[in-house]
Amino acid sequence: MTLVPPGTPGSTAPTAGSSSADGHRRVLAQIDVACRFPVILLFSGALLWLAVGTALALVSFVELHAGEVLANCAWLAYGRVRPAAWNSVIYGFASQAGLGVALWIICRLGRVSLVGAAASGTAALFWNLGVCVGVIGILAGYSTGLEGLEMPGYVGPILFLAYLPIAVGALVTFHARQERGLYVSHWFLLAGLFWFPWIYSTAHLLLVCKPVRGAAQIVINGWFLNNLRELWLTPLGLAAVFYFLPKLVQRPLHSRYLAMFTFWLLVLSGSWGGLSIGLPLPRWITALSTAASLGMLLPVLAVAVNCYRTWRAGACAKPCSPALSFILGGTASYVLAGFLRAADAFAPVHDITRLTCFAEAYGLLTSFGFVTMVFAGAIYLVLPRLTRQGWAAPALVKAHWLLTIFGLALGTLALAVGGVLQGLALNDPAVAFDQVSRTTAPFLRAASLAVLLLALGHVAFLYNLSWTLIRWLRCAVPMRALLVAESEPATGGVNS
């Protein structure tokens, strides 16, 4: 009889390496089970609001060039449906999906189960309740009129109190981590988790509860919108990129120092932008804000170089998965949106693009490009690990990707080019205003088609998630019953 040394091919004896790998997989499986309830709730609510928000955005774009379609429906007037769409995407989808990804990454990096999973799941339900009440309030005509804070004043405390258990659970889990080292994703997640309650509570207090007067409202509102993007959504999105991209290409992040450079620039200068030239404010305020907006090109370039080098290092290691495709597409959207935003802050360009649809181009790239695609890629990777099964309809994943790419490309090009032509026509006194509207209308129709493509992709995403969860629940219930039956002792007699 020939003995095969342990660890060689053909050996059936367990080795230290194999037992260690099995133990590692068991730990990860226990972590996934512990955070399954709140993360799935957050993902499910997020995708539902993404579909709702995209549908409302489609209605708002159609009304820009065909206002007579819903002219007799006050609930779907442009002044109501646009902020309802924006709030659905930002608070309903992006914030929820970001929190779900943050909980999972913190647990995985720390090799520890989520602390307070039941409290986080309950808080997720209340967060959805708050968003639902807020969106209905906007559509019913009870908007505050403050951009980014359009939900009625009584919704703010609901969202804030719902956020606290999730954030506290994430921070306590981070403190209890078994892996004591700090990863790049940790920096961005912790910064975002600390920054959101500060900016949201401050803006809500000074603009909704006890409104300040005069031009200070413009400053605080611009500060809030810029911070909401640069210090809440961007850190969550970049944390996901810096975690999933190396994982998917099976290579370490290209440069930890470039990531650190990106982090500190966001923290130190990310909150200074948001106030464009031409606002009724002292000149030094808008000049400082413009300089900060132009300076934000540096972290954008750092992210582009870091991600590109990481991807190139592992381009041949593994075929491009759907999750990787969405992560790369979201990163490219972040870079392109950063360049468009910096161009719009430049005075000669802003003189043309001001009060046009040009700002909608980089808004589309930020909300439906960077944030949505990165979190979609994360969900495509995380959910199979939580449910221990694949997606129910893999073909819908590819359809979602194609619809998103074509929709983003068409919408960005139409809104950017249409905005420039609209601005040139508005600045020409020889051009009548009705001629400006006729010039812009074809581009708005193209943008409506682009949002329709995005809406179809998001509906496919939601349907795929629903089908997958239903299939998982159908398999989980009989399995749970079988485990209970096997654990009961045999009693003998007729009933045994």
Task: State the burial class of residue 262 (Cβ atoms within 10 Å of its Cβ: 0-12, 13-18, 19+).
Answer: buried
Predicted pLDDT at 494: 32
pTM across the whole model? 0.89
Predicted pLDDT at 319: 60
Predicted pLDDT at 318: 59
Q: Is the dihedral of CA 343, 268, 148, 50 positive or negative?
A: positive
Q: Mind spelling out the 3-state secondary structure of the chain?
A: CCCCCCCCCCCCCCCHHHHHHHHHHHHHHHHHHHHHHHHHHHHHHHHHHHHHHHHHHHHHHHHHHCCCCCCCCHHHCHHHHHHHHHHHHHHHHHHHHHHHHHHHHHHHHHCCCCCCHHHHHHHHHHHHHHHHHHHHHHHCCCCCCCCCCCCCCCHHHHHHHHHHHHHHHHHHHHHCCCCCCCCHHHHHHHHHHHHHHHHHHHHHHHHHHCCCCCCHHHHHHHHHHHHHHHHHHHHHHHHHHHHHHHHHHCCCCCCHHHHHHHHHHHHHHCCCCCCCCCCCCCHHHHHHHHHHHHHCHHHHHHHHHHHHHHHHHCCCCCCCCHHHHHHHHHHHHHHHHHHHHHHHHCHHHHHHHCCCCHHHHHHHHHHHHHHHHHHHHHHHHHHHHHHCCCCCCHHHHHHHHHHHHHHHHHHHHHHHHHHHHHHHHHCCCCCCHHHHHHHHHHHHHHHHHHHHHHHHHHHHHHHHHHHHHHHHHHHHHHHHHHHHHHHCCCCCCCCC
369/333 Cα distance (integer angstroms): 5
Predicted pLDDT at 483: 36
Predicted pLDDT at 422: 92
Query: 426 CB contacts (<8 Å, ≥6 apart)?
Result: 355, 356, 436
> Which amino acid is it at 265?
L
Q: First vs last Cα of the chain: how many Å apart?
A: 47
Question: Tens-digit pLDDT profile for the chain (496 aa)?
Answer: 333 333 333 333 344 455 666 777 787 888 888 899 999 999 999 999 999 999 999 999 998 888 777 778 888 889 899 999 999 999 999 999 999 999 999 999 999 999 999 999 999 999 999 999 999 999 999 999 899 999 999 999 999 999 999 999 999 999 999 888 889 999 999 999 999 999 999 999 999 999 998 888 999 999 999 999 999 999 999 999 999 999 999 899 999 999 999 999 998 888 888 888 778 888 888 888 888 888 889 999 999 999 999 998 876 655 678 899 999 999 999 999 999 998 888 888 888 988 899 989 999 999 999 999 999 999 999 999 999 888 989 999 999 999 999 999 999 999 999 999 999 999 888 888 888 888 899 999 999 999 999 999 999 999 999 999 999 988 865 544 433 343 444 333 333 2
Domains, the chain: 30-181 (1.20.120)
Judge whether 59 and 81 are in contact, CB under 8 Å.
yes
